[in-house]
Amino acid sequence: MDAKVEHQPHPFDAATQVECTDGRWRGATSDDYHAFVGQFGGATTATLLRALMAHPDRAGDPLALTVNFCAPVSNGAFDLAPRLVKATRSTQHWSIDLTQPDVGVAAFGTAVFAQRRETWSHQPAEKPQTSHYEDTPVYSRAGVAAAWIRQFEFRFAENAPNFGGAPHPEPASPHTKAWIGHSVPRVIDLISLSAIADAFFARIFHVRGELLPIGTVSMTTYFHVDAADLATEATTAVLGVADANVFHKSFSDQTGELWSASGRLLATTHQITYFKA
Amino acid sequence: MDAKVEHQPHPFDAATQVECTDGRWRGATSDDYHAFVGQFGGATTATLLRALMAHPDRAGDPLALTVNFCAPVSNGAFDLAPRLVKATRSTQHWSIDLTQPDVGVAAFGTAVFAQRRETWSHQPAEKPQTSHYEDTPVYSRAGVAAAWIRQFEFRFAENAPNFGGAPHPEPASPHTKAWIGHSVPRVIDLISLSAIADAFFARIFHVRGELLPIGTVSMTTYFHVDAADLATEATTAVLGVADANVFHKSFSDQTGELWSASGRLLATTHQITYFKA
């Protein structure tokens, strides 16, 4: 990363910035993170998390974050209403609403923050064997319609999609493994992780081999590292493993794991997604 | 089930009942579902869900439910504040707070309801091979300290715990498979599912082979069937598959699947749990 880049706000940080003036929290969408309809949910999620992390009453690091997507976030500004619901000695429970004048509540979330201290530590889950980041070809996003996809670099280690051809005659596997980082290199912090948790392509695209109307309805991410743990990884790409269990009556689930190259499970994420098929 | 039982409220329905008088929603804890500290989280969850389902403005069936546990729910009555945050043509987003005078907000949740219609349907996940319910021995709860555990019948098909012996010298697997139903037989509906989603023993108990202080901090359940789908299963026990990925700095995750005997994935559930070890 050269000095010039370091002195500019990274597109991700620019897109997810928040400000608080006289107790009013505000943010705005960025054209860089536009999705097919409204803003990329991961950018919305990261903005909510950034507001909570920037709040003067916040203590500790994010542990759990749930975001409910009620309506597309329209281009332009929005208000944020963070609220500390309950604080205990070492944890905090927050809620936050995102509202727009023409939409009302477009998204709202709940989060748990914790001041995490060393304890017994054990990771039964093992990082899947894949090609290394450096050896995995960059997935071409040429011709991709949604702006947000160009903000991330995907390197599929397994089950790369091929959307150019005919739809699959039979359902294919929803399972994928891909290295994911910001297109403009940026060290991955907890706010990045919260966005990358929503950066998997919709599972139905992989299963059906075609693009269909979809939308995340609710997403939950658990952080298995705190800021200090993640800083020691100093990573610019994570291995994202995603899958789905069920597609039924307009909704499917998605499960995701975000791994560091060193073999540490940084976060797990789950969402329920609307589909039209 | 004999006629007498049919005419009494089932202990689960009695424990999770709610009433609304002049717009004020109330419930109360039940000694039957007492946990080590406060009320069993699954009973709290089911009570929140029951209030939302009983709300006159509710449309559709629960699709996603997140409950944040802020403080132990004390013995006695509590107030519930359900709020319809946003409604679209076929989905509703709700929030609900549970408060007690001496505690403040003890738990709060968010939920998505949807009117689900037939679409393309596909279940990539396959039910694990296990012994049948009828062939699986009932797990003895003799001497179990927490009342709520006696309200469920557990039949471990894999990795039954043995808490009587010495702690494991090395971490054991957090993976378990168990048939779970109400001790007093009751057909499993969506409200049951929301409680059974929290009825797995804490993963650390299995890994360490000992009981340690734990508490669910946040739990999310996705329902992959609607009420009509579940009614066709007419089941009194589900196969619960649970696992954990990470134990680190006071918190661990837990993943769960609830399967019907017929091989249908009814719900998936995830939680983040505090532990002291």
Q: Report pLDDT digits (tens) over B169-222.
A: 999 999 999 999 999 999 999 999 999 999 999 999 999 999 999 999 999 999
B167 interaction partners in chain A (CB closer than 8 Å): none
In this structure, of A33-37, A72-76, B143-147, the range with the lowest mean pLDDT score is B143-147
E strands of chain A, at which residues?
Answer: 18-21, 24-28, 61-69, 77-87, 91-100, 104-114, 152-158, 176-182, 214-223, 237-243, 247-248, 251-259, 265-275
B3-115+133-275: in CATH 2.40.160.210: yes
In this structure, of A92-96, A218-222, B23-27, B33-37, the range with the lowest mean pLDDT score is B33-37
pLDDT value at position B3?
45
**Cα–Cα separations (whole angstroms), residue B130 to A161, B141, B203, B206:** 34, 22, 20, 19
pLDDT value at position B163?
78
**Cα–Cα separations (whole angstroms), residue A133 to A2, A156, A157, B70, B159:** 21, 9, 8, 40, 36
A193 interaction partners in chain B (CB closer than 8 Å): none
Nearest to B93 among A70, A120, A250 (CB): A70
Query: pLDDT (tens digit, 9 = 90+) per residue, B149-170?
Result: 999 999 999 999 887 789 999 9
3 state SS of A55: coil
CA–CA gap between residue B217 and residue B220 (Å, rounded)? 11
CA–CA gap between residue B225 and residue A174 (Å, rounded)? 20
Residue of A nearest to B258 (CA): A245
Are A124 and B246 an interchain contact pair (Cβ–Cβ within 8 Å)? yes
User: For A9-115+132-275, CATH number?
Assistant: 2.40.160.210
What stretch of H or E contains A48?
A: helix A41-54
Per-residue pLDDT, averaged over B24-45, amounts to: 95
3 state SS of A236: coil
- Chain A closest-CA separation from residue B253 CA (Å): 8
Per-residue pLDDT, averaged over B241-254, amounts to: 98
pLDDT value at position A7?
61
Mean pLDDT of chain A: 95
Are A253 and B268 an interchain contact pair (Cβ–Cβ within 8 Å)? yes
Residue B5 has pLDDT above 70, yes or no: no
pLDDT value at position B2?
47
pLDDT band at B71 (very low <50, low <70, confident <90, very high): very high
Residue A87 has pLDDT above 90, yes or no: yes
Are B108 and A125 an interchain contact pair (Cβ–Cβ within 8 Å)? no
Mean pLDDT of chain B: 95
pLDDT value at position B224?
98
Tokens of B212: 């340690």
Are B116 and A225 an interchain contact pair (Cβ–Cβ within 8 Å)? no
CA–CA gap between residue B222 and residue A270 (Å, rounded)? 9
pLDDT value at position B7?
61
A114 interaction partners in chain B (CB closer than 8 Å): 217, 250-251
Nearest to B66 among A66, A125, A173 (CB): A66
pLDDT value at position A163?
78
Residue A5 has pLDDT above 70, yes or no: no
CA–CA gap between residue B238 and residue B265 (Å, rounded)? 10
Query: pLDDT (tens digit, 9 = 90+) per residue, A165-212?
Result: 899 999 999 999 999 999 999 999 999 999 999 999 999 999 999 999
Portion of chain B with pLDDT greater than 90, in percent: 91
Are B248 and A272 an interchain contact pair (Cβ–Cβ within 8 Å)? no
pLDDT value at position B213?
94
Neighbours of B68 (CB within 10 A): 27
Neighbours of A144 (CB within 10 A): 12
- Chain A closest-CA separation from residue B242 CA (Å): 13
CA–CA gap between residue A264 and residue A243 (Å, rounded)? 19
Nearest to A246 among B105, B125, B272 (CB): B125
Query: pLDDT (tens digit, 9 = 90+) per residue, A104-125?
Result: 999 999 999 999 999 999 999 9
Residue A6 has pLDDT above 70, yes or no: no
pLDDT band at A36 (very low <50, low <70, confident <90, very high): confident
Residue A144 per-residue DSSP state: -
Nearest to B245 among A66, A97, A125 (CB): A125
CA–CA gap between residue A275 and residue A207 (Å, rounded)? 12
In this structure, of A216-225, A242-251, B31-40, B141-150, the range with the lowest mean pLDDT score is B141-150
Query: pLDDT (tens digit, 9 = 90+) per residue, A249-261?
Result: 999 999 999 999 9
Neighbours of B184 (CB within 10 A): 14
Residue of A nearest to B117 (CA): A249
Q: Are strands A251-259 and A265-275 parallel, antiparallel or unpaired?
A: antiparallel
Residue A1 has pLDDT above 70, yes or no: no
CA–CA gap between residue A183 and residue A205 (Å, rounded)? 22
pLDDT band at B270 (very low <50, low <70, confident <90, very high): very high
pLDDT value at position B6?
55
The closest of A173, A157, A182, A267 to A219, measured between CA atoms, is A267
In this structure, of A201-210, B159-168, B246-255, B262-271, the range with the lowest mean pLDDT score is B159-168
Residue A4 has pLDDT above 60, yes or no: no
List the beta bridge partners of residue B114: B61, B91
Per-residue pLDDT, averaged over A92-113, amounts to: 97
CA–CA gap between residue A65 and residue B59 (Å, rounded)? 26
ipTM, 2 dp:
0.96
pLDDT value at position A175?
98
